[in-house]
Amino acid sequence: MKPTRVILTLLFAGLLVMACEQAPTDPTGTTDNASIENASAQNVALFNTLASVDQIGNVLRGPEAKIEIGNADITNPQSAAAFSAQISKKAIAQLRAGNMKKRSSTLSDSLLWEMTIRREILGFTERTRVYYDFSSGKAVIENVKYDFDDRHWLVLDSARVFADLAGTLEDDSDDTIEKLYGKKVYKEGHFISQEISNIEIDPYAPGTEPTSARLQTETSYPEGSMISKKNEQASFKDGSGSWSKEIEYVDGSTSHEQVTFNADGTGTFQEERRSGVKTSGTFDSADDDGSGSFTKLTEFPGDGALESIYESGQFTMNLQDSTLTGSFEKELRFRNGTVSKESISISESYENGYKTTVLTVSNQDGSHGTVTIKENDGGSHVSGVWTEKDGAYILSETDFYPDGSARMEFKVYTSEEAFNNGDAPVISGIFNFNPDGSGNGTAEDGNGSYNVTINADGSQTITD
């Protein structure tokens, strides 16, 4: 029993709450425009909760969803081996059918066959090669996709399977998989430049299933990014294991995450960001009986307005179609002693393989809203609608990327009625967020434009 992608979607989606986690505005700012300050704070809060969504998703999905090569699931060594074997068998089958072209020994004595096909419908060229050492019985099966058309972000997507064929190309009953290697190179302008991953499967006897595996992956970022490198490591054995992530920033600072998975489907997680914000929590998946839960505590350092956030949720899963329902509570504690609470309900659906999550949020002060998260190949697109206690109506559209950065556009109207009447927004703006919560942007109202600098702790400086 292990946490599944769909179960943990609910876990982290339950944390997404708009407009209540108001970040304090820096008193040294040069404007006292309360409306701009409030609108900015609401949207900083939205990003912070989206970051919480990303953090919970990464931690709780853990190796199952984050650390994989193709369909090779590190939490399940059998799955990794099966994926590798699938590539191997497909290549060997092509070899046997005579569809692969025999290479000249002048290229390489171990390169036996290769096949190249342009897959126009999919938009790339695919090349498969088989390397084999007759003296050792070891083989390398290489599958490379390249020459991607404009619909793709990739320049190169390659996978190599290292296998011991026990000296028999024709008999796969004695084959074992030793490791997998994957490399993806992205086109210029993408938020990352390349990913390199290695999965090592511990030795197992032919005819049996592997029970343990280890992985390491490194993500590189293009010049000009605030992140220089991301390293992830994982190990899994007999249903239990661990996963960790370290992000290195260009200024030399780092952030860390760690998650532990138990064989019974429970686990713990923790994170420390470079700003000093600490998170810890527990989870229980719903794989066995359709019921699950999570807890999460976030503690803020220093003397800022916010002291801590405690989140918890209970949910159920339909074991037939994996649809989820749940209710969640969120409690914000401020250093002045005040407490703010929220309640969240959730529903989700799937269309063409992509997940849509809808959250309905209500605050104890009467403010309320709806958030819709639609996954796509590039991350998630988030649409938010929020009504303040004074009737102000806020609309936002956010592209949230896998590296934790985001681009948000927002508009504020005096009321929902004003929006429906076609009135112009009283405030509008665009914010660009970095993965650590810092960022910058602009906001404008009828009196002019303002520059907004967002610090990693959520505080803001607003200047004319």
Q: What is the pLDDT of residue 323?
A: 66
Report whether 371 contacts 20 (CB < 8 A): no
Burial environment of residue 336 by CB neighbours within 10 A (0 to 12, 13 to 18, 19 or more):
exposed
Give me the DSSP letters along 55-74: HHHHHHHHHHHHSEETTEET
Burial environment of residue 251 by CB neighbours within 10 A (0 to 12, 13 to 18, 19 or more):
exposed
Amino acid at 324: L
Which secondary structure element, helix H or strand E, spans residue 37, and what is its range? helix 34-66
Q: What is the pLDDT of residue 86?
A: 57
Report whether 435 contacts 405 (CB < 8 A): yes
Q: What is the pLDDT of residue 88?
A: 54
Q: What is the pLDDT of residue 357?
A: 84
- Chain Cα centroid distance, residue 269: 16
Query: Pairing state of beta strands 266-272 and 72-73?
Result: unpaired
Amino acid at 201: I
Angle at 368 between CA 363 and CA 369, to 5 degrees: 135
Angle at 59 between CA 53 and CA 60, to 5 degrees: 85
Q: What is the pLDDT of residue 266?
A: 85
In this structure, what token pair is assigned to residue 453?
């600098």
Q: What is the pLDDT of residue 89?
A: 58
Q: What is the pLDDT of residue 436?
A: 75
Please name the residues in contact with 117: beta carbons below 8 A apart, sequence gap of 6 or more: 125, 126, 127
**C-alpha distances in angstroms, 333 versus 56, 309, 310, 437?**
20, 6, 8, 20
Q: What is the pLDDT of residue 378?
A: 65
Report whether 279 contacts 55 (CB < 8 A): yes
Report whether 169 contacts 132 (CB < 8 A): yes
d(CA 97, CA 164): 22
d(CA 399, CA 54): 13
Query: Pairing state of beta strands 227-237 and 291-299?
Result: unpaired
Amino acid at 32: D
| 294 φ/ψ sector (left φ>0, alpha ψ -120 to 50, else beta) | beta
d(CA 225, CA 227): 5
| 140 φ/ψ sector (left φ>0, alpha ψ -120 to 50, else beta) | beta
Per-residue pLDDT of the chain (464 residues; tens, 9 = 90+): 333 333 233 233 333 333 334 433 333 344 457 788 877 777 777 776 666 656 554 544 444 444 443 434 444 445 445 555 555 555 555 444 444 444 433 334 577 777 888 999 999 998 888 888 878 888 888 889 999 999 898 999 998 888 887 776 666 777 788 888 889 999 998 878 999 988 888 888 887 777 788 888 899 999 988 889 999 888 888 778 888 889 999 999 999 988 888 888 788 989 898 888 898 999 887 766 777 788 999 898 887 778 998 988 887 776 666 667 788 888 989 889 999 888 888 888 887 778 888 888 888 888 899 989 898 766 789 999 999 888 999 999 998 877 778 899 999 999 999 999 999 999 999 998 887 778 889 999 988 899 988 876 667 788 88
Angle at 88 between CA 82 and CA 94, to 5 degrees: 135
Q: Name the E strands within 250-338.
A: 254-261, 266-272, 278-284, 291-299, 306-317, 324-334
Report whether 209 contacts 179 (CB < 8 A): no
